[in-house]
Amino acid sequence: MDTKAGPAPRRWSSRMTASSRTPASGPADPFPDVRLIDFRRPWLVSLVFGLLGADRFYLRRPLSGCVKLLTLGGAGLWWALDVLALATGAAVDGGGHPLSGRSGHRAVALVVSVVVIGAAFGLAAGPVLAAARAGAGTAVSGLVTALPARDPAPAWTEVASLSGGPGSAPAETFTVTGDVVRIRYVLDGPGFIYLLPAGAVGAPRGADPVVSTVEARTGERILRVAPGERTLLVQPADTTWSATVEQPGGG
């Protein structure tokens, strides 16, 4: 044996560690030993059965899948958002890992998603609008029924048609059978109109006229009176006038 020779060369095992196999340069796999799910299958599941939360269960997210099932896909909004998220690559699985897929496949999936979602919401809008219109009509009908009905306008019946002027005789009398009268009048100048009991010669002291004007006027007055014989007195006596006396329902 040659004692001057150096130490024997070290023998390396043919079994190399995982780290020794890793290239010295280049990025490491961010998800080692993880097999990413292709987005196409959960996207199809979401498109067809997403209202029932099937896509969430498929991606191992059972809690949100139950909530989605109970709310029927959040009344369709959650379903639409999940379909678009899966098509665009924004969705993740239950472990927080993104879904794999080619950009071309995602573009096709996005177009199909937009068309299907638009058609679904368009079909749903018809019954919803019809139900809203029906509900609004029912509410209005109920409100009208609940509100107190207005009394219809009374039908007036003529009791007397009177007129007077300079040199004319006193107005004739008429009979009031109810407790309300309407006097429609025309005065050609300033004057006062009094409603008096039949046979009265002049206006009682302190009596208030039913019409008082300082100029020519046309109008009407509705008054409460006691039943009985009545007459009209117009002052001054040289004022030309006409009046129609009416009461509701009949003379």
CB-count burial class (<10 Å; 0-12, 13-18, 19+) for 129: exposed
Question: Which domain does 121 fall in, by range?
Answer: 35-144
Confidence at residue 149, expressed as pLDDT on a 0 to 100 scale: 64
**189 & 216 share domain:** yes
**pLDDT at residue 117 greater than cutoff 90:** yes
Decide if 192 contacts 248 (C-beta within 8 A): no
Whether residue 89 has pLDDT greater than 70: yes
Q: What is the mean pLDDT of the chain?
A: 82
**Residue 88 sits in the same domain as residue 171:** no
113 three-class SS: helix
Mean pLDDT of 49-72: 92
Compute the Cα dihedral for 212, 218, 222, 227 and give only its sign: positive
Count of CA atoms in the C-beta half-sphere (13 A) of 124: 9
What pLDDT, on a 0 to 100 scale, did the predictor assign at position 20? 38
- What is the total count of domains within the chain? 2
Same domain membership, residue 139 and residue 168: no
Residue range 195-220, pLDDT digits in tens:
989 888 777 787 889 998 989 999 99
DSSP assignment letter at 167: T
163 shares its domain with 213: yes
Are residues 165 and 241 in contact, defined by beta-carbon separation less than 8 angstroms? yes
Residues 161 and 140 in one domain: no
Whether omega for the bond prior to residue 236 falls within 30 degrees of 0, making it cis, is: yes
For residue 250, the model assigns a pLDDT of 54
- Please give the full DSSP string across 46-109, using - where no structure is assigned: HHHHGGGTHHHHHTT-HHHHHHHHHTHHHHTHHHHHHHHHHHHT--B-TTSPBPB--HHHHHHH
Q: Do 44 and 92 belong together in one domain?
A: yes
Same domain, 138 and 195: no
Mean pLDDT lowest among 105-114, 119-128, 177-186:
119-128
- pLDDT classification of 52: cutoffs 50, 70, 90: very high
**Residues 75, 56 contacting (CB under 8 angstroms):** no
Summarised one tens digit per residue, pLDDT across range 21-50 is: 444 444 555 555 568 899 999 999 999 999
Residue 163 and residue 81 share a domain: no
- The span from the CA of 95 to the CA of 59, in Å, is 9
CATH no. for residue 218?
2.60.120
**DSSP reduced 3-state for 39:** coil
* CB 65, CB 53: distance < 8 Å: yes
Please report whether residue 89 resides in a domain.
Answer: yes
Q: If you average pLDDT over residues 159-184, what whole number do you get?
A: 90
50 shares a domain with 101: yes
Last residue of a domain, one of 119, 144, 169: 144
At 124 the pLDDT is 81
* Predicted pLDDT at 174: 92
Tokens 């020794």 label which residue?
20
Could you tell me if 42 and 138 lie in one domain? yes
Q: Rounded to whole angstroms, how far apart are CA atoms 250 and 157?
A: 5
